[in-house]
Structure 1
C-alpha cells in the first residue's frame, strides 16, 4: 500500500521502540488506538530489502500510524540513501539508522551495533541519507560495545555523527557484547547506565537525546524529561499495551485517556478491514493478547483469541466473543 497523505512532524517525548517480529503494521495500528501522539517505529528493514524486495509488504502502513519512523539496517551509504528516499516518498516521517542490534546475523552483515566501532562510516551513511530526503534522519545506538565502552568513546561517536548533520540520537543505555552474549541477554545482562546518557545530553545540549532500555513505568518515566528530550519504551509497551493509554495525557497534555471500550471498537474496525482485504485475523490478534493484562477475564480473552484466530473464518466476531469476559470493565 502506497501512502500519499502528508506525514506529521515527529515529537521525541515518547516513542515505541522498533522490535523485530513485533512492531509490524497491525501492531502499530493497535498501538495508535491507545496513543495518538507517540512516535511509532517499524521493525528494522535492511536497505537492500527496501530496494530489491516487496515494498508494499515491507513498507506498507495505514494513515492512522503517523507519526511513523522507518528503521533501516545497513552500512553502505549509497544503498541507505536510496532506501531512505524510497521510504520518504512513501510518506515516512523519520528514517532511523540501526546502530544498536547485536545479533550474529546483523554482525555478519557488518551493520547494527558493530558500526559503533566505525563512527566515520556511520557519519558517511547519515550524510548520504540526509542528502536524499527532507525528513529527519536519526540514529539508535548503544552506550558502547565490547571493550570500546568508555564515556570518551561514546562522546566521540556522537560528536562525529552529529558533525555529519544528525541531530537526534536514541540511546539504549546498555553496552552490547558482540561476542559472548545472545541478543536476548544483551537486552538484560549489561547494566543500565542512565547517568551516562544524562551526561551525554549535558555535553551536547543542542542535540535531541532519547532514552531507551529498561524503562518499566510510563508514569514515572516522565522524570527523565527533566534531563532528556524523550523516552522510548519497548517490551513493556508490547506485552502490557494498556500502559500506553496514559501517554497522551502524561506526555502531550491530552485531557483524557482512551477507554478500553473505545479501543475495542477500534480493534473491531481494524479486524473488519482485514476481513474485507483477505488478511488473516491472527496477524492482529497476536498483538492484542495483552490488552487486559492483570485484569479479570484476561486469561479467557487470551485463550479465546489464541484458539480461534487461526480458523479460516475468524473475524471481528471472535474478538467480540473474547471480550465478553472483560467488556463490563471496559465500558
Structure 2
C-alpha cells in the first residue's frame, strides 16, 4: 500500500513546487500593484471621508460625497464632461474608420499618408496644445486672420462661453431656447484639437484590423456581385466590430480622464482655469482646482471616487451592450 502512494506523493510535491515557483514569479508584480495601486486607492478613500485642509483634518464620514451630490459646480462639470465625450469619441472613430478604409486601398504614397496621420499622436500633448492655443488666439491667431480674409467675423474661440447652437442661431436669426445652446465654443475648440490629435492613432488601429480580414472573403463576395457598400456593410464592419468595440471602450475611459490639453488650453487662454464661466470645466479639471487651488483635499478625493464609479459603471454597461454586437469570426 505504501509503495502505491509514493508516485502520487511525488506528483503532488511537484505540483506544490510548481505552484510556489509561480507565486514567486508573481510576487514582484503583486508587490508593485499593492504599493502603487491598491494602497494609494485605499488611502485616497480614507482621505475622502475627512475634511482635509493641509494640517486641519476632521473625520466627516460621507459628508464630502453628499456635498458633491448637492454641488452645482460638480454637476456642471459632469455635463461638460458628457459634452466632451459625446462630441469627441464618435466623431474621432468615424473619421478614423473612413481614413483607414481609404488608406487601405491601393493608392500611391499611402505609407507617407499613414505616417502623416499618426504624427500628431506621437508629439507631446502639452506642446501640441500650446500650438493650437496660438491657432485659436482671438487677436493674432491664424484662424481668425483667415476668417477675416474671407469676410467672416472673428471668433473668441477659447474665450467664448456661448453655446455653439446659440452662436449658429444668432447667425441665422433663429432664437435658440435657453438650455439648448449646446457645448460652448470654447469646449468645441478643444474638441477639434482632440479629434485632430487622436484620429491618427485610431486610424492606425483600424488599419491593423483591416489587414487581418482575409482577402478571400472580398473576392468571393465580388464574384457574387457585391458592390463596395455591400462589401463594407456585410464584411468589413462585422469583422471590424472587435476593433470598434475596443477603441470605443478605451476612448470613452480616456475622455472621462482627459486633463493635460484642457488644462493647457484653458489656463493659457487668458482666463480662469476651466474656461469662461466654467464651460470647459470637466470633472478632472474641477478635481484639480478643488485639490490645488482651493486646497480641499478630502472633497477633491471624494469627487475623484465618484468619477471612478461613474467610469466603472459606464464601462460595464458598454461591455454588456457592446459584447452582444461584436462578431468574433
The TM-score bracket by the shorter chain reads under 0.3
**Structure of higher RCO (CA pairs closer than 8 Å, 6+ residues apart):** 2
Q: Which structure features the higher share of helix residues? A: 2
TM-score (norm 2): 0.22
Larger radius of gyration: 2
Q: Which structure features the higher share of strand residues? A: 1
